[in-house]
Amino acid sequence: MQIPIWKKWLSFLVPITLERLSSPQNPKLAVVIDRGRLQLLSGNAIYSWDDLYHNFTAAFGQIDLESRPMADVLVLGLGLGSIPYILETVYERHYHYTAVEWDEAVVHLASKYTLPRLKSRMDIVVADAAYFVHVTTARFDIITVDIFEDDRTPELFEGANFLRDCRRLLRPDGVLLYNRLYNSSAHRQATDAFFQNTFSAVFAQASTIETSGNLVLVGYRKGPEASPP
């Protein structure tokens, strides 16, 4: 969708709401243009913000995209499509994306506002991400987990079984990027415990990337025998 230039200019002074939607999964969805970029808001959370979605912009800058032979990316939690947008417009990468999103309203908004601006091939699956990673036989070089209900991560995606399914889908030398909130003492405590007790137990090579208000957990699959069962 083409945004009038005057709205882009005005958005540097004040955010402008372009559209509101409601769905069973997200009672309050809003597409907003802010500082010339498109945001997707849900309740208290920012689900997307073009290239200003700094947690993934920073994370992709630290995983050495240049030297990794990557072709296929699994996006768990589509939002407005910031992840493929960042990789294509900031890092000039054209991958094949499989995006899994359980909310058809979110898919509608991404298809309307962001996906027409991209050249990369994208397949969208409307499904529960935990079910998808459990049953698919596809393999990927990058998996991103960006799944929230308002400002919390659903418990289903904090379990070792979900992480093991994700690890199984990674090709050797593939990488998982898992976005977590880190902007309050409660969020920091929960994320630190999840990383130490669960994430690091599944991914033998694990690290973190701290951004403004978020922590991206990084897990590598170095080979078929490198990670614990």
Question: What residues does each domain of the chain span?
Answer: 51-221
**Res 226 pLDDT > 70:** no
In the sheet that holds 214-221, the strands lie side by side as 121-126, 96-101, 72-76, 140-145, 170-181, 214-221, 205-211
Residue 139 has pLDDT above 50, yes or no: yes
CATH code reported for the domain at 51-221: 3.40.50.150
- The CA–CA distances, whole Å, from 210 to 182, 183, 198 equal 8, 11, 18
Q: What angle do CA 210, 59, 225 make, to 5 degrees?
A: 100
Span 104-113, pLDDT tens digits? 999 999 999 9
pLDDT per residue as tens digits for the range 70-104: 899 999 999 999 999 999 999 999 999 999 999 99
Does pLDDT of 225 surpass 50?
no
Percent of the chain topping pLDDT 90: 76
Backbone angles phi, psi at 144, to 5 degrees: -115, 135
Question: What is the per-residue pLDDT for 81?
Answer: 94
Mean pLDDT across 28-47: 89
pLDDT of residue 44: 74
Q: What is the pLDDT of residue 69?
A: 79
Is the pLDDT score of 228 beyond 60? no
HEC secondary structure over the chain: CCCCHHHHHHCCCCCEEEEEECCCCCCCEEEEEECCEEEEEECCEEEEEHHHCHHHHHHHCCCCCCCCCCCEEEEECCCCCHHHHHHHHCCCCCCEEEEEECCHHHHHHHHHHCHHHCCCEEEEEECCHHHHHHHCCCCEEEEEECCCECCECCHHHHCHHHHHHHHHHEEEEEEEEEEEECCCHHHHHHHHHHHHHHHHHHCCEEEEEEECCEEEEEEEECCCCCCCC
> Among 50-59, 160-169, 193-202, whose mean pLDDT is lowest?
50-59
Which whole number is the average pLDDT over 196-214? 95
